[in-house]
Amino acid sequence: MAPATYFLLVSFLALVTSQAIASDPSPLQDFCVANIHSPVKVNGFVCKDPMAVNVDDFFKAANLDKPRDTMKSKVGSNVTLINVMQLPGLNTLGISLARIDYAPLGQNPPHTHPRATEILTVLEGTLYVDLSSTQKVTSYHKVQQGECLFPRL
């Protein structure tokens, strides 16, 4: 094989077999507790002064173990949210948590979460779920106690 052909072949293989390495950049600080009182909002909340951060910024007694009243709701469900507004230490982490209590025949109105995924875990009873795609394909599923569902909505 001619040296020029060999060089071209090796160069081509090097280009097509190179690894793609990608990740989110490392944060500039260890944590960014939200300063929810700041008027400045840039892709979320600005960081609180690290010297003003305390353990309460990372802990919330949310009482998520206690069922909520579902009878006052028109749809028969009650959502308890834990996000950066209740727990400032979640700022920049891209996570939140919700507990949803359903009355018998209660429902969670159709909704989407752009660029997010939810995890549903049934702790008691049965939940009937309808997953619909943008291509109008619908899938129904019965989630039993102890089962999980990971829809990308």
* Annotation: binding site: 108, 111, 113, 118
Query: How many Cα atoms within 13 Å fall on the side-chain side of residue 38?
Result: 13
Question: Is residue 43 within a helix (H) or strand (E), and if so which, with residue range?
Answer: none
Place of tokens 């052909």: 5
CA nearest neighbour of 75 among 107, 31, 38, 33: 107
Distance, CA of 15 to CA of 74 (rounded, Å): 59
> Pick from 32, 78, 81: which is nearest to 58 by CA?
32
Q: Token digits for 58?
A: 């990372």
Binding residues for oxalate: 108, 113, 118
Instruction: Give binding residues for Mn(2+) as ranges.
Output: 111, 113, 118
